[in-house]
Amino acid sequence: MYTDSVTYTADRLIESTRELLWERGYVGTSPKAIQQRAGVGQGSMYHHFDGKPDLALAAISRTAEEMLAAAEGQFTAPGTSVERIAAYLRRERDVLKGCPIGRLTQDPDVMADPVLRRPVEQTFTAMRGRLAEVLAEGRDRGELTDTLDPAATASTIVAVLQGGYVLARAADSTAPFDQAVDGVLGLLAAQTR
Amino acid sequence: MYTDSVTYTADRLIESTRELLWERGYVGTSPKAIQQRAGVGQGSMYHHFDGKPDLALAAISRTAEEMLAAAEGQFTAPGTSVERIAAYLRRERDVLKGCPIGRLTQDPDVMADPVLRRPVEQTFTAMRGRLAEVLAEGRDRGELTDTLDPAATASTIVAVLQGGYVLARAADSTAPFDQAVDGVLGLLAAQTR
């Protein structure tokens, strides 16, 4: 529960912006719709945020932080490097809805604005970086073969997730996502010693 | 050169629909815009096509056929199974523009219409099927280890391409696409004997 009503108002505005960005994209998210969904007046909104771009940045940044924090839960769990990556890839996901950060790459207004694109880019860079660390750790511990390239393999894993969402949407089924994940985990398993 | 003016008109309508679907998505592609771009009158358009959904289906199907035909060029070239897959993954692509079929999975109007979604789904199913055949051939010839799962690995490869486009757009750079491709080819190379 929030006891600070100022924080609570800002929070509701961010959450409403997140929902609207997800449902309607940037162009379809009007300041008025944000205010209505948050139950906040125009004056209050402009007290907390400079406007729609500022709110969108806060909304995208919060989604990005949550995504990285959730992944960190799997990356720092006990187990071998491949076990932790498998737990991350196989964790419960709303596959047919897709990735709220990945989908922003198809939003022309977000991609055209360097300030809004930055957290999208940073999220993928951070995810690839963390996966590369987990893979390098596995290699250094002797779990994985020396020939495995941690950075390239990490990019492959992030691409499999993002591409798996595309295949699942095309099929209106989670099956191709699961198969793509099985495939990369099979290739990784062959690299364990 | 077309000598048959009826075919030529239908062809111009399909090409204009392809361009508009790519630039504006389904909702932004009006019959009037298609006619104007094709330089074809309304009566002539409705002589050839039942309307926008019919034209969109023809446009999507043509894009899908071209994509599969282009891949077939690499899949049937000389070389080992992994060499042919590498040639396919590394062939010249307009990475930052992305995949004209994959992008349709983000078009809500296309995904909501089973008739328009079908060629999108079929393209990915066909691509996964062909890659699985190329991998199975490599395994049967003794180029690849017996433990490799052709179907799952094929889904991984298609996902890497589609996800690679997402990462490239986020970064406004082809580098993460290339790295994801390098990563999956490195994992595949480790499966060769």
| Together in a domain, B39 and B91 | no
What pLDDT was estimated at residue A44? 93
**CATH number of the domain bearing residue A125:** 1.10.357.10
What pLDDT is recorded for position A4? Answer: 58
pLDDT at site A7 = 79
Q: Assess whether B172 and B82 both reside in one domain.
A: yes
Mean pLDDT lowest for which of A64-68, A107-111, B1-5, B189-193?
A: B1-5
DSSP B193: -
What are the pLDDT digits (tens) for B40-66?
Answer: 999 999 999 999 999 999 999 999 999
Q: What is the pLDDT of residue B148?
A: 96
**Same domain? B33 vs B117:** no
Residue of A nearest to B159 (CA): A163
The answer to whether residues A153 and A135 touch, using CB atoms and an 8 Å cutoff, is yes
Q: Can you list the residues of chain A whose pLDDT is less than 50? A: 1-3
Least confident window among A151-155, B3-7, B122-126, B152-156: B3-7
Which CATH number belongs to the domain containing residue A27 in this structure?
1.10.10.60
CB-based contact, A190 to chain B, within 8 Å:
yes
Could you list the residue range(s) of the whole structural domain that residue A122 is in?
63-189
Dihedral pair phi/psi, residue B60, rounded to 5°:
-65, -40
Q: Which residue of A has its CA nearest to B176?
A: A155
Work out the pLDDT band at B1, boundaries 50, 70, 90. very low
With b for 16 or more beta-carbon neighbours within 10 A and e for fewer, the A98-112 pattern comes to bbbbbbbbbbeebbe
Indicate which of B27, B93, B187 best probes the interface with A, i.e. most A CBs within 10 Å of its own CB. B187
Q: How far apart are CA A84 and CA A135, in angstroms?
A: 10
Average per-residue pLDDT in chain B? Answer: 95
